[in-house]
Amino acid sequence: MERYRYVNGMILLKEHILSIHQTHKMYGYPRMQIALRDKGFKINHKKVYRLMSELGMKSIIHKKRRVWKNNVSRVYDNIVERQFKERTENEVFVTDSTYLPTKTGFLNLSAVQDLYNTEIVT
């Protein structure tokens, strides 16, 4: 691998970044660095980030799907608004669940926590 050359190499490097961006608009700077490495450029990810910023490039971020197998997901309003402190007892409960693999299948473990004193309720 060669290191890029500054004067003509910087223009060449920007042209390569632009050509990669034309075909892969979802690439951010880490993937862009890998694509440049595949083309023979040895370049730091911070340099790629700076050059992409200079060129005004941003990766396209795909939005989360709200539909899964023709079922629309419910999106609830954020009524807590990250105000976790200064709550009264039994006012706000939060939960998290995980699946545990077993020999007979998966088990669902779900814990409910009271934000007032961070105790597990169930």
Provide φ and ψ at 47, rounded to 5°.
-65, -40
What's the structural domain count of the chain? 2
Nearest Cα to 59, choosing from 31, 39, 81, 88? 31
Contact (CB, 8 A) for 45 and 28: no
Residue 66 lies in a domain: no
Range of the domain at 31: 2-54
Helix (H, G, I), strand (E, B) or coil at 39: coil
pLDDT per position in the chain (122 positions), as tens? 444 444 455 778 888 999 999 998 889 999 999 999 998 888 899 999 999 999 998 888 777 666 777 777 777 888 888 887 888 888 889 888 899 999 999 999 999 999 888 889 86
Residue 44 lies in a domain: yes
pTM of the model: 0.48
Residues 6, 38, single domain; the answer is: yes
